[in-house]
Amino acid sequence: MITLSGIIGSGKSSLTKILSEELGTTAYYEPVKDNPVLPIFYKGNEIAAKKRAAGDAEATNPYAYLLQTFFLNRRFAMIKKAMENDNNVLDRSIYEDEIFMKMNTELGNATQVEYDIYKSLLNNMMEELPLAAHKKSPDLMITIKVSYETMLNRIKKRGRKYEQVELDPSLSDYYHRLLKHYDIWMQEYSYSPLLIIDGDKYDFMANKHDRVTVLETIENKLVELGNLTEADFARYQQKHQEFLQS
């Protein structure tokens, strides 16, 4: 099982699709369109920021805890399902979930009590995961590391209004903080082997050569970990040459 991680707009879902098609595996995507909380969460951030600017130092986003427990529940269910069989790829996982609740607490969008309750729930879920899914952790975690500029460009391309800095300037500080939290998370992650892909350097969505480079970097790692044979890797390399020549 391979899990993807990375900030908003880093290309997790795109690489999940590319990788699952390459390896002939099942892809699991975190639902976005049927998330009833996400749009009102962004609106709640904006309202809370205005209240604090007006002097209400204790103003919080009433939807921050709701959103994170919604995501946590979804991600727990998704990773359990993916772990039932071998050879699956997830575009998001439970392992980076705490980043968002921690940051929302630091920003004043959630209370310390809400964060403590959330973290207790997360820890309980992590303890139950090996029992529920019969697997301790992913075989490989892939993180796509991007800069603020790359993230904004990709956010603009996918066009979700509630993610646009132009429509909500407070998102600029939110995104910069999120990037810093991901840098810390990458240093501290220890549940499985971690492979970091440079999303600024490699445009695996639009550039054929970059796509092949990223795929072969991942496959090399899988060979190293014993999850892919040398023969299979050689077969993929031949396929890549045909792709580049097409």
pLDDT tens-digit profile, the chain (246 residues)? 899 999 988 999 999 999 999 999 999 988 767 788 888 888 888 888 888 889 988 889 999 999 999 999 988 888 888 888 778 999 988 899 899 999 989 988 899 999 999 999 999 988 887 766 566 788 999 999 999 999 999 898 888 887 888 888 878 988 999 999 999 999 999 989 999 999 999 999 999 999 999 999 999 999 999 999 999 999 999 999 999 998
| CA terminus-to-terminus distance, the chain | 30
Instruction: Give domain 2-201's CATH number out of 3.40.50.150, 3.40.605.10, 3.40.50.300, 3.30.70.260.
Output: 3.40.50.300
Which residue is catalytic, options 56, 86, 91, 210? 91
Check whether 108 is labelled as a binding-site residue: no
Check whether 201 is labelled as a binding-site residue: no
| Res 132: pLDDT | 60
Across 87-120, b (16+ Cβ under 10 Å) vs e yields ebbbbbbbbbbbbbbbbbbebbbbeeebbeebee
Active-site residue flag, 203: no
Distance CA 156, CA 32 (A): 16
Check whether 12 is labelled as a binding-site residue: yes
Q: Which residues pair with 145 in a beta bridge?
A: 198
| Res 177: pLDDT | 92
| Res 133: pLDDT | 59
| Res 43: pLDDT | 86
> With contact defined as beta carbons under 8 Å apart, do 236 and 242 qualify?
no
| Res 159: pLDDT | 81
Check whether 68 is labelled as a binding-site residue: yes
| Res 135: pLDDT | 67
- pTM of the shown model: 0.88
Q: Which residues pair with 143 in a beta bridge?
A: 5, 196
Distance CA 132, CA 103 (A): 29
